[in-house]
Structure 1
Amino acid sequence: MIHTMKNRKSILLSLAVFSFSLITAQQKVMQTDFSKGTWEQVGKSLQRKWVSGSESTFALWKMDKGAHVPPHQHPNEQVTYITKGSVKVLMNNKEYVVKAGGVLIIPAGITHEFFCLEDGTEDLDFFTPVRKDWTDGTASYLQQQGNPLEVVAQFNDVRPGNVAVSREGRVFATIHPLASPKEQLVEIINGQPVPFPSAGLQKNGGKSADNKFDTPLGITVDKTNRLWMIDMGLELGKTRLWCIDLKKNKVTEKFELPADIAPKGSFVQDVAIDEKNGWAYLADIANPGIIALNLKTKKARRFSGHEALQSEDADMIIDGKVIDFGGKPSRVGINPITLSDDRETVFFGSMNGTSWYQVPAKLFRENADHTTISDAIKKFGEKPISDGAATDKYGNHYITNLGGHSISKLNSQGQLSEFVKDPKLKWPDNVAVSEDGYLYISVNQLDTTTAFSGEKDNGKPPYFIYRIKL
Structure 2
Amino acid sequence: MRRIIIAALAATVLSTPLVGQEITEVQKIDFKDNTNWEQMAPGIQRKYVYGAQGMIAQFKMDKGATVPLHQHLNEQITYIAQGSVRVSVKGKDYTIKSGETLIIPANIPHSFICLEDNTIDIDFFSPPRKDWIDGTASYFKGPSSTHPALEEVAALDVRPGNVAVAKNGRIFSSIHPLGSTNYQLVEIVASKAIPYPNAAMQKNNAATSQNTFDAILGITIDQKNRLWVSDMGLNLGRTRLYAIDISSNKIVEQIELPASVAPKGTFAQEIVIDTKNNWAYLADIANPGIIAINLSTKKARRFSGHSSLQAEDLDMVIDGKTIHFGGQPARVAIDPLTLSSDGETLFFGAMNGTKWYALPARLLRQERDDNTIGKAIKIVGEKPISDGAFTDKKGNHYFTDLQHHAITRLSADGENSILVKATEKLLWPDNVYIADDGYAYISANQLNSTPAFTGGKDEGKAPFYIYKFKL
TM-score range, shorter chain: 0.7 to 0.9
Equivalent residues of 1:433, 1:440 under 8 A apart: yes
Mark the CA change 1:319 to 1:140 in structure 2 (over 3 Å): closer, same or farther.
Answer: farther
> CA–CA distance in 2 between the matches of 1:23 and 1:365?
45
Give the direction of change, closer, same or farther, for the CA distance of 1:352–1:69 in structure 2 (3 Å limit).
farther
> Which one is further off, 273-282 or 397-406?
397-406
Task: Indicate the residue corresponding to 2:440 in structure 1.
Answer: 439
Tell me how far apart the structure 1 counterparts of residues 434 and 273 of structure 2 sit (CA, whole Å).
14
CA pair 258-356 structure 1, distance change in 2 beyond 3 A: same
2:62 aligned with 1:29, yes or no? no
Q: Distance in 2 between matches of 1:238 and 1:306?
A: 24
Q: 1:136 to 1:409 in 2, by over 3 A?
A: closer
Q: Is the 8 A contact 2:202 2:212 kept in 1?
A: yes
TM-score normalised over the length of structure 2: 0.86
One-letter amino acid of the counterpart of residue 67, structure 2: H
Q: Per-residue CA shift, 1:204-254, capped at 9, x if unaligned?
A: 233322222222111001112221111222233332222212122022232
Aligned equivalents of 2:181, 2:108: Cα separation in 1? 48
Contact 1:345 1:360 in 2 (8 A): yes
Shift of residue 436, structure 1, vs aligned partner: 4.1
Greater alpha carbon shift after TM alignment, 216-225 vs 120-129:
120-129
* Cα distance in structure 2, aligned partners of 1:232 and 1:126: 47
Cα offsets for 1:276-329 (capped at 9, x unmatched)? 333211001122110112223332211111111112334444456554444444
Q: Deviations over 1:9-53 (max 9, x none)?
A: x31441454366349866522112123323123444333222234
Query: What secondary structure sits across from 1:80 in the alignment?
Result: strand
The Cα shift of 1:139 comes to 4.5
Q: Distance in 2 between matches of 1:226 and 1:216?
A: 16
Q: Separation in 2 of the partners of 1:286 and 1:113? A: 51
- Assess if the C-alpha contact under 8 Å between 1:51 and 1:319 holds in 2: no
Of residues 258-267 and 169-178 in structure 1, the stretch that sits farther from structure 2 once superposed is: 258-267
User: In the aligned structure 2, how far is the partner of 1:138 from the partner of 1:146?
Assistant: 8
What is the aligned partner in structure 2 of residue 80 from structure 1? 78
- Quick one: distance in 2 between partners of 1:385 and 1:70? 33
2:295 corresponds to? 295
Determine if contact 2:40/2:145 at 8 Å carries over to the other structure: no
- 1:467 maps to 2:468: yes
Give 1:375 deviation, angstroms.
1.5
Contact 1:388–1:399 (8 Å) recurs in 2? yes
**Residue in structure 2 matching 1:115, options 112, 116, 120:** 112
Alignment partners' CA distance in 1, 2:76 and 2:455: 32
The answer on whether the counterparts of 1:40 and 1:404 sit within 8 Å (CA) in structure 2 is no
1:60 maps to: 58
Number of the residue aligned with 2:178: 178
- Shift in alpha-carbon separation, 1:173–1:134, aligned structure 2, 3 A: same
How far residue 138 of structure 1 moved from its aligned partner, in angstroms, is 4.4
CA distance 1:204–1:360, shift in 2 (3 Å): same
Amino acid in structure 1 at the alignment position of 2:419: V
Q: Which residue of 1 aligns with 2:421?
A: 422
SS at match of 2:178: helix
Aligned-pair RMSD on alpha carbons? 3.1
TM-score (norm 1): 0.86
- Conserved? CA contact 2:12–2:54, under 8 Å: no
Question: Where does residue 242 of structure 1 map in the other structure?
Answer: 242
Give 1:103's aligned residue.
Answer: 101
Distance 1:144 1:392, change over 3 A: closer
Name the aligned partner's letter for residue 430 of structure 1: N
Q: Is the deviation greater in 360-369 or in 451-460?
A: 451-460
Query: Which residue is 2:7 aligned to?
Result: 14
Conserved? CA contact 2:27–2:320, under 8 Å? no
- The answer to whether the 8 A contact 1:147-1:468 is kept is no
Partner of 2:48: 50
Judged with a 3 Å threshold, the aligned counterparts in structure 2 of structure 1 residues 58 and 448 are, in CA distance, closer, same or farther, namely farther
Q: Which amino acid aligns with 1:66?
A: A
Contact 1:404 1:421 in 2 (8 A): no
Letter in 2 for 1:32: I
Residue of structure 1 equivalent to 2:387: 387
Q: Which amino acid aligns with 2:36?
A: T
Whole-angstrom CA distance in 1 between matches of 2:136 and 2:181:
32
Contact 1:51 1:317 in 2 (8 A): no
User: Using the alignment, how far apart are the partners of 1:38 and 1:150 within structure 2?
Assistant: 22
Q: What amino acid is the match of 1:350?
A: A
Count of residues paired in the alignment = 460
SS at match of 2:364: helix
Rounded Cα–Cα distance in structure 2 between residues aligned with 1:379 and 1:434: 26
Residues 440 and 466, structure 1, Cα contact 8 Å, conserved in 2: yes
In the other structure, the counterpart of 1:3 is: none
* Mapping for residues 158-173 of structure 1, pairs under 5 Å: 158-173=158-173
1:40 maps to 38
Structure 1: any 5+ residue segments left out of the alignment? 1-6
Q: Relative to 1, partners in 2 of residues 1:144 and 1:47: Cα closer, same or farther, differing over 3 Å?
A: closer
Provide the secondary structure at the position in 2 that maps to 1:98. Answer: strand
In 1, Cα distance between the equivalents of 2:194 and 2:298?
Answer: 31
Q: Which runs of 5+ in 2 are unaligned?
A: none
CA–CA distance in structure 2, aligned partners of residues 244 and 23 of structure 1: 44
- Would the aligned equivalents of 1:410 and 1:416 in 2 still touch at CA under 8 Å? yes
Going from structure 1 to structure 2, the CA distance change for 1:26 and 1:464 (only over 3 Å counts) comes to closer
- Seen in structure 2, the aligned counterparts of structure 1 residues 468 and 14 have a Cα distance that, compared at 3 Å, is closer
* Separation in 1, partners of 2:331, 2:37: 18
Note the C-alpha offset of 1:425.
4.0
C-alpha displacement of 1:433: 2.9
Distance across 1 between alignment mates of 2:354 and 2:87: 33
Moved more, 34-43 or 92-101: 92-101
Alignment identity in percent? 53
For residues 87 and 296 of structure 2, the distance between their equivalents in structure 1, rounded to whole angstroms, comes to 65
Q: How does 1:186-205 map to 2 (within 5 A)?
A: 186-205=186-205
Q: Secondary structure at the match of 2:11?
A: helix
